[in-house]
Structure 1
Amino acid sequence: MELNEYPRPANDTGIGVHWTVGYAAAVGLSKIREIWIPELKAMGVKWVKVFNHDGALDFCELLLAEGLMPIVRLYRPSPNPGRLGVKELVHIDSLIRSGVHYFEFNNEPDVDAEWKGGRVPVNGLDITVENTIATLEVILERGGMPAIPALSNGSRWDLVGRIVAAGRRDLFDGPVWQAVHNYARNRPLDYPYDIGNQEGAAFTERFYRAVAAEPWQADAWRGRTLAEVNRIRYDRRNPGATIADDHACWLAYEHFDALNRKHLGRSLPILATECGYIVGEDTDPRYPATTPDLHMAQTLESCRVMMGTSQRFKHAPDYYFCTSFWLLANAMLGSTSAWWEGQAWYSERWPGDALPIV
């Protein structure tokens, strides 16, 4: 199946969001229709990732009626090892009849927390490949478009390669796509090709002070002086590094596309089902932690990348269909899981109940 045969929303921007971690319609469809749909449209959102909890069917029908494309995760806690049950199959059939196309059925199977028992077994990759093949078949038979499961940020698993090695290249003749979690961490959008990673280029005092002066809940430099930051940048530089060396970044889709072309001789559609920047993230000490203002600037620029209007970075390739920025809202969309509140764009924790990006 060719890239141009996969459905996309009208007037596609490539901008998508991860709706919430709870029930899709927990706050009620009327409130979603009156408040949240206009918010999505004002931000240029065209794709929405949701879970298949109760209320998802009506919510997806609303999205489709409003010109938005849903991506549905068939949620199961600790889904590995395992396959879809009757409940999930019934949901798939109902959603397909309503016009939903894109389905996820697993999540980061390379991570301990996604396995019953809390640990990836030694043969976890083999088990995942076996169950992925079986589930792809089931969803394809029903007329859905299933995803190759998204892996954790920077994972070295190669599911497409292993499926092909298992003799099931034929599955990719159907409308299969690949999910990615291309979280940027606190790295720039062009990492690993940015001048900081390649050459260890120093930050200016002006930039250092501007970031340090932003009033928010923490210190973006984590107590490090400008001299200390620049020393770390120089000591940890990686001249000549490519996406094959480190794909724990926004450009992770380039890594997976290279693997897909290696195994299949062509690209698969790649859709982010989680991605972007998270306020407070400070994984890489060569860069400042993500402040609310940095979150806004970097997320806005990534939207320009998707729309092909960025003046700073190369535009998104045709195979990279959409983002799914984590996380639109948590409590404000009815989720009772307080764990995620600090990562939500809309939250009472932020001044004005929202991050600057909105």
Structure 2
Amino acid sequence: MQLSQYQWSGNPRGMHNEGAYKPINHDRLTSLHLGWYKLVTGGEEFANDCAWMLTQNITPVVRIYRSSPGANPPDDSIRNQWGHYLGAGVKWFEFFNEPNFADPEWPESMKSRIDYRNFDEVIKPLCESWLMFAEFMLNQGGYPGFFSLGETSGVSGAIQWMDALLGYMRDHQRERFAKIIDNGLWWATHPYALNHWYQEQPGQPSVPRDPANYNALEEGWHFEYPYDPYTQSFDPGRTAFGNTGSTPYGDPNGITAMGVAFNQRLQEWFGAGPLPVFGTEGGIYPLPTHDAQRPDSRFPAYDRAVHAEGTVAM
């Protein structure tokens, strides 16, 4: 499929729901002019809400919650629940959620063995179960989302997990995965952006302005970390895969970083893409609820007012 063939609102402004079974305020969704809405559900409780969203040109994205699922495949119960959403017109679905986090995504008996290098107990069963989900969705006209990962960095970070999962598809299930690529695959990312964003000094793309002067209605915002001009000014050549001495294991903590990495691997390993990427969880985080936040000392801090400017600008 070409990007233009995917059915969605065309409006990238989105929001995550408050959780399973919690009522949805329809007026809030329309007043915010949302184009998509991510729902974590306990079952089929939001099917009617999804049908309403589609009448408002809001694209629902659904993941049915499972407690510590590990690598368990879909069962008849979840297929039946998916059927309610498919019947309501939903097309975008996720299955696994951050399987690179042992807690809370894996049962107690497995938590000590969760590693992207554990092929037999982790990577293989995850991929085989995901293929069952993806092929079910394709058969029903849905779009299956590839594994959303917790965007960690380091020796066992998100880049290593992504490569292990895609590497399994490349080496062991290439034909099945290629069919999914061609018929509705997308990727769900969780871009917790930290303070890896800024608004430039007018006419100076590599120089962040004083956050007190941030203005969401003005140009010059940069959310493309680590490809932004400021990062490139002090670490030239840095990418989501790293590629510099200071980032040997990759650097995925930006709004677009993991999506760029995913599409790069699709091109390199499968000759495919680009495919859609939805950031279905994340944003500017940690929240500056009481105090300003500066998780990365290289970038400016943000307080509540600056957080608001950045969120609106995004």
Q: Considering the TM-score relative to the shorter chain, is it more than 0.5?
A: yes
Alignment of 1:264 with 2:276, yes or no, is no
Q: Which amino acid aligns with 2:269?
A: H
> In 2, distance between residues paired with 1:161 and 1:73?
24
> In 2, distance between residues paired with 1:242 and 1:176?
24
Residue-by-residue CA offset, 1:102-151 (whole Å, 9 max, x unaligned): 11001111111211123415332233222222221222223321111111
Equivalent position SS for 1:275: coil
> In 2, distance between residues paired with 1:240 and 1:164?
27
Q: Which amino acid aligns with 1:294?
A: V
What is aligned with 2:238?
Answer: 241
> In 2, distance between residues paired with 1:163 and 1:64?
33
Select the residue among 130, 142, 149 that pairs with 2:128.
Answer: 130
Residue-by-residue CA offset, 1:310-332 (whole Å, 9 max, x unaligned): xxxxxxxxxxxxxxxxxxxxxxx
CA contact (8 A) 1:74 1:106 kept: no
What is aligned with 2:166?
Answer: 160
Equivalent position SS for 2:282: strand
Equivalent position SS for 2:66: coil
CA contact (8 A) 2:195 2:294 kept: yes
Alignment of 1:64 with 2:54, yes or no, is yes
Q: Report the alpha carbon displacement of residue 165 of structure 1 after superposing the two structures with TM.
A: 2.1
Alignment of 1:115 with 2:122, yes or no, is no
> In 1, distance between residues paired with 2:15 and 2:167?
29
Equivalent position SS for 1:182: coil
Q: Which amino acid aligns with 2:262?
A: F
> In 1, distance between residues paired with 2:198 and 2:18?
24
Q: Report the alpha carbon displacement of residue 189 of structure 1 after superposing the two structures with TM.
A: 5.9
Residue-by-residue CA offset, 1:36-72 (whole Å, 9 max, x unaligned): 3333223221100002325211221221222211000
1:134 and 1:262, CA in 2 relative to 1: closer, same or farther beyond 3 A? same
Where do residues 181-200 of structure 1 align in structure 2 (5 Å cutoff)?
Answer: 181-188=190-197
What is aligned with 2:41?
Answer: 52
Q: Which amino acid aligns with 2:35?
A: K
| Runs of 5+ unmatched residues, structure 2 | 153-157, 214-229, 243-250
Select the residue among 23, 30, 39 that pairs with 1:41.
Answer: 30
Q: Report the alpha carbon displacement of residue 284 of structure 1 after superposing the two structures with TM.
A: 1.4
Give the % identical residues: 26
What is aligned with 2:149?
Answer: 151
Q: TM-score of the superposition, structure 2-length normalised?
A: 0.73
| Aligned-residue RMSD, C-alpha | 2.8
**How many pairs does the alignment contain?**
259
CA contact (8 A) 1:110 1:125 kept: no
> In 2, distance between residues paired with 1:91 and 1:247?
33
What is aligned with 1:216?
Answer: none
Alignment of 1:14 with 2:12, yes or no, is yes
Equivalent position SS for 2:241: coil
What is aligned with 1:89?
Answer: 79
> In 2, distance between residues paired with 1:165 and 1:186?
37
| Runs of 5+ unmatched residues, structure 1 | 212-232, 303-358
What is aligned with 1:345?
Answer: none
Q: Report the alpha carbon displacement of residue 262 of structure 1 after superposing the two structures with TM.
A: 1.6
Alignment of 1:299 with 2:311, yes or no, is yes
> In 1, distance between residues paired with 2:32 and 2:198?
20
Residue-by-residue CA offset, 1:191-224 (whole Å, 9 max, x unaligned): xxxx99x8xx7x78xx37x49xxxxxxxxxxxxx
> In 1, distance between residues paired with 2:198 and 2:100?
25
1:141 and 1:13, CA in 2 relative to 1: closer, same or farther beyond 3 A? closer
What is aligned with 2:247?
Answer: none
1:189 and 1:147, CA in 2 relative to 1: closer, same or farther beyond 3 A? farther
User: Which structure's relative contact order is higher, taking Cα pairs within 8 Å and 6+ residues apart?
Assistant: 1
CA contact (8 A) 2:36 2:59 kept: yes
Q: TM-score of the superposition, structure 1-length normalised?
A: 0.65
